[in-house]
């Protein structure tokens, strides 16, 4: 049976842990709000980019000499999987669920006899995947979005991926990230970026494109497309990074909320034990005194 002093120490330590988790929860909530605002602000650009791109791509798809970013390299043997996680832990199942999703995708690809390369964005993803696929990881990008998540971070990732693509190091690029739904729910999303997979509704609109306005292009269609596609890649990465950041803070907020509540429960239990023990000690001492007095 633990002594009174031990119990007191434990209660104090749980109390200070609770203070930390409560503070982390507040910080995560504030950061979540900011991340959401940022995601909101980035939406118009992505939407319009998509509109221009799909009207362009609609006309270009299936044509000879279309950019490999749009049409693919023609091969399907080497896959690059970009796994986006956070750099820091203590955010519930956030990182593990991405790692689990990534493992499933990678196993699938390996099972089909494809070659897989992994690019990790965020330290935690690398740590989790290293055990199973250590040899497949070709690089890690860390400290993304510090101090502030900006478009240049996404641009940097896009550049790195594009360089590899141009060097012919892979054929298909897929990104795995957590899509933010609410502070409690995040959806692991697998999205193919290269070749550019057209969103379904846009593809439908392009097919019914007879009545769509015919654009004039300056300079040529190909030139615009060849500039637009790399830009689009950066935009997609940016979107994924923002979603991921919002998800991370949401997940951390929920996790810390739970932790705070659990710490509260634990303090209650420990206090009861402490009080009982103290009472028992007092009773024992009384019995000793009384029986001593009786014996005299």
Active site residues: 91
Q: How far apart are the C-alpha atoms of 245 and 200, rounded to whole Å? A: 26
Work out which of 20, 22, 203, 224 binds another protein, going by CB under 8 A. 224
Q: Does residue 228 touch another protein according to CB under 8 A?
A: yes
Tokens of 221: 């269609």
Tokens of 196: 């550019």
Instruction: Return the SS3 of 75.
Output: coil
Q: How far apart are the first and last CA of the chain?
A: 32
Work out which of 68, 150, 209, 264 binds another protein, going by CB under 8 A. 150
* Greatest pairwise CA separation for the chain in angstroms: 114
Count the residues in the chain. Answer: 296
Contacting range for another protein; rule: CB under 8 A; set: 15-23, 36-44, 105-113, 131-139: 36-44
Report the 10 Å Cβ neighbour count for 112: 9
Q: Closer to another protein by CB, 200 or 218: give it.
A: 218
Work out which of 112, 213, 291, 294 binds another protein, going by CB under 8 A. 213
With 0-12 / 13-18 / 19 or more C-beta atoms within 10 angstroms meaning exposed / middle / buried, residue 291 is exposed
Contacting range for another protein; rule: CB under 8 A; set: 68-76, 85-93, 226-234, 279-287: 226-234
Phi, psi of 70 (to 5 degrees): -95, -45
According to DSSP, residue 145 is labeled T
Q: What are the angstrom distances between the C-alpha of 256 and each of 91, 106, 203, 251?
A: 8, 31, 42, 9
Strand duo 186-194 + 172-180: pairing: antiparallel
Q: Closer to another protein by CB, 133 or 238: give it.
A: 238
Q: Does residue 151 touch another protein according to CB under 8 A?
A: yes
Q: Does residue 42 touch another protein according to CB under 8 A?
A: yes
Q: How many residues bind another protein (CB under 8 A)?
A: 28
Taking the complex as a whole, the smallest distance from the CB of residue 33 to another protein amounts, in Å, to 16
Q: Does residue 211 touch another protein according to CB under 8 A?
A: no
Q: Does residue 33 touch another protein according to CB under 8 A?
A: no
Contacting range for another protein; rule: CB under 8 A; set: 126-134, 216-224, 253-261, 286-294: 216-224
Binding site for another protein (CB under 8 A): 38, 41-42, 44-45, 48-49, 51-52, 56, 150-151, 154, 213-219, 223-224, 227-228, 231, 234-235, 238
């Amino acid at each position: 049976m633990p002594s009174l002093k031990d119990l007191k120490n434990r209660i104090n330590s749980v109390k200070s842990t609770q203070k930390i988790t409560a503070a982390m929860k507040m910080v995560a909530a504030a950061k979540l709000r900011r991340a959401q605002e940022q995601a909101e602000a980035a939406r118009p650009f992505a939407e319009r980019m998509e509109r221009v791109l799909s009207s362009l791509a609609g006309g270009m798809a299936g044509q000879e000499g279309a950019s490999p970013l749009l049409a693919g390299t023609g091969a399907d043997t080497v896959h690059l999987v970009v796994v986006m996680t956070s750099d820091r832990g203590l955010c519930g199942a956030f990182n593990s669920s991405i790692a689990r999703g990534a493992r499933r995708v990678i196993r699938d690809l390996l099972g089909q006899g494809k070659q897989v390369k992994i690019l990790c964005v965020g330290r935690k993803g690398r740590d989790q995947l290293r055990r199973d696929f250590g040899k497949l990881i070709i690089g890690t990008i860390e400290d993304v979005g510090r101090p502030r998540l900006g478009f240049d971070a996404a641009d940097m990732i896009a550049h790195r991926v594009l360089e590899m693509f141009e060097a012919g190091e892979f054929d298909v690029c897929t990104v795995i990230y957590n899509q933010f739904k609410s502070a409690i729910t995040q959806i692991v999303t697998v999205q193919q970026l290269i070749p550019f997979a057209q969103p379904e509704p846009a593809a439908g609109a392009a097919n019914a494109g007879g009545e769509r306005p015919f654009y004039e292009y300056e300079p040529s269609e190909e030139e615009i497309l060849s500039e637009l596609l790399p830009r689009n890649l950066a935009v997609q990465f940016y979107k994924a990074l923002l979603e991921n950041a919002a998800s991370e803070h949401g997940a951390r907020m929920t996790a810390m909320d739970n932790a705070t509540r659990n710490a509260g429960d634990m303090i209650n239990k420990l206090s009861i034990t402490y009080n009982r023990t103290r009472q028992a000690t007092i009773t024992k001492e009384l019995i000793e005194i009384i029986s001593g007095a009786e014996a005299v």
